[in-house]
Amino acid sequence: MAPVGRRGGGRPTLEEVAARAGVGRGTVSRVINGSPRVSERTRSLVQQAVADLGYVPDRAARALAGHRADTVALVVPEAETRLFAEPYFSGILRGVSAGLADHDMQLLLTLIRTSKERRRFADYLAAHRVDGVLLVSVHGDDPLPDLLGRMAIPTVLNGRRTAGETVPYVDSDNTGGAQSALEHLIGRGRRQVATITGPPDMYVAHCRLDGYRQAVRAAGHPEDDALVARGDFTEEGGRRALRELLARRPALDAVFCASDVMAAGARRELRTAGRRIPDDVALVGFDDSAIARHMDPPLTSVRQPIEEMGRAMAGLLMELITGGGEAGGLEVRDAAGAVGSVGSAGAVGAVGRTGSAGPTGAAGAAGPEGPTGQVAPVGRHLVLPTELVRRESS
């Protein structure tokens, strides 16, 4: 059906759509860009006017005007070897892609490993070639979040640098997940439970180590630093750390690894040392990746909702880009079963921890305060619950 109700030739303009719908130009722009700050009645009027006039948004014109580039950058400050070896990153990528699918946005995957690459990316941002940045695998000394803040680029982190992170982020309950892993191992009678941590410059590693230590103390077990070995979230790092643990504490009977990838390395070293899993040493990982399911024996692991985290990051970033009050409708349930969404009151800082009792776990709801003890902006900080998945390795 041909467009109707328009005089003259040439392609229809934003102003003509606004006049036909009886609204302002800015309102039309918000509807076209997917902002939720428009009533359903107004949205319907604008959409009808767009259909009647056959209006097609001009991406190039918007970019030249400095309004939108219709592109989001997913930045991973890691070597490509880790990007392709660790299933976590592919899960985040799938979630982000799904979250951006309804927003007509292009996704730019960027690896930043050196200061030169960081400067090049800053120049790219200064040219207004992206509308926002999703930053995965955050290290405490990474200057990129602060650089993005100075440039006023909408940014969402996957994880956080400190407990008082001010940049919007989506994270999982790393401390609670580690606690559930230790409670499971101690509950099965394991007495010398070791842990392989992540890198010391990553807050996620500190959280998982804190969860380990809290559970050890709660069980009345003595804290033994010789049962703690540093890893780096790689398979070889897990193998090297397990070798150190066996040298220090040959009688250890369980190991909690801060990632499935490190657990795979620990498993190889245990077998080299002639230790049977789980008869001699129980093994638990973190992530519940495909690695966990395909190990022999299958690995007990703390599941974090990786793809859901990616979708939430994309939704929150779109909220920041469009200036809307909601971010994609991601549902988060608290312990009472109440449902909120990213960007809606009631889902702010929604923190849960799950035990090993059931398939879905029990998410506990936090109050409206962010990690610094101050009220967080609505929907800007989100922590999703974890769940312990029991398998034959423990």
d(CA 161, CA 144): 11
User: What pLDDT does residue 12 have?
Assistant: 83
Q: Which amino acid, one-letter code, is at 221? A: H
As a whole number of Å, the end-to-end CA separation of the chain is: 64
d(CA 298, CA 293): 5
d(CA 19, CA 268): 69
Average pLDDT score over residue span 128-153: 88
Q: Is the pLDDT of residue 337 over 80?
A: no
Q: Is the pLDDT of residue 271 over 90?
A: yes
d(CA 155, CA 39): 27
Tally of residues, the chain = 394
Average pLDDT score over residue span 27-51: 83
Q: How wide is the angle at C-alpha 20 spanned by C-alphas 16 and 25, nearest 5°?
A: 55
Higher local confidence (pLDDT), 27 or 170: 170
d(CA 86, CA 290): 10
List residues bridging with 145 in a β-sheet: none
User: What pLDDT does residue 9 have?
Assistant: 57
User: What pLDDT does residue 219 have?
Assistant: 96
Q: Is the pLDDT of residue 351 over 60?
A: no
Q: Is the pLDDT of residue 237 over 70?
A: yes
DSSP three-state, residue 273: coil
User: What pLDDT does residue 91 have?
Assistant: 92
Under the phi-then-psi rule, with left for phi > 0, alpha for psi from -120 to 50, and beta for the rest, what region is 3? beta
What does pLDDT average to over the chain? 81
d(CA 270, CA 268): 6
Higher local confidence (pLDDT), 159 or 352: 159
Indicate the DSSP class of residue 375: B
Higher local confidence (pLDDT), 344 or 274: 274
Q: Is the pLDDT of residue 126 over 90?
A: no
Average pLDDT score over residue span 108-116: 87
Which are the contacts of 326, defined by CB distance < 8 A and separation ≥ 6? 36, 319, 341, 342, 343, 344, 379
Number of helices (H) and strands (E), helices first, in the chain? 14, 14
Residue 11 Cα to chain centre, angstroms: 41
Judge whether 52 and 16 are in contact, CB under 8 Å: no
Instruction: Give percent of the chain above pLDDT 70.
Output: 79
User: What pLDDT does residue 78 have?
Assistant: 82
Cβ-count burial of 239 within 10 angstroms (0-12 exposed, 13-18 middle, 19+ buried)? buried
- Residue among 66, 337, 154, 320 nearest 145 (CA): 154
Q: Where residue 327 falls among pLDDT bands split at 50, 70, 90?
A: very low
Give the number of other CB atoms < 10 A from CB of residue 346: 14
Higher local confidence (pLDDT), 87 or 335: 87
State residue 91 phi and psi, 5-degree precision. -65, -45
Q: What is the token pair recorded at 382?
A: 């989100």
Outline where DSSP puts E strands in the chain. 71-76, 106-111, 132-136, 155-158, 169-172, 193-197, 228-230, 254-257, 282-287, 300-303, 331-333, 339-341, 381-384, 387-389
DSSP three-state, residue 331: strand
- Between 182-186, 380-384, 388-392, the lowest mean confidence (pLDDT) is in 380-384
Q: Is the pLDDT of residue 245 over 70?
A: yes
Higher local confidence (pLDDT), 326 or 269: 269
Half-sphere exposure of 394 (CA within 13 A, CB side): 29
Instruction: Give percent of the chain above pLDDT 90.
Output: 52
Q: What is the token pair recorded at 335?
A: 């312990």
Residue 352 Cα to chain centre, angstroms: 15
DSSP three-state, residue 77: coil
User: What pLDDT does residue 86 have?
Assistant: 81
**CA-to-CA dists, residue 24 to 7, 16, 238, angstroms:** 20, 10, 59
Average pLDDT score over residue span 335-354: 35
Q: Where residue 62 falls among pLDDT bands split at 50, 70, 90?
A: low
Cβ-count burial of 314 within 10 angstroms (0-12 exposed, 13-18 middle, 19+ buried)? buried
- Between 79-83, 201-205, 236-240, 353-357, the lowest mean confidence (pLDDT) is in 353-357
Judge whether 332 and 342 are in contact, CB under 8 Å: yes
Average pLDDT score over residue span 312-332: 69
User: What pLDDT does residue 115 have?
Assistant: 83
Q: Where residue 31 falls among pLDDT bands split at 50, 70, 90?
A: confident
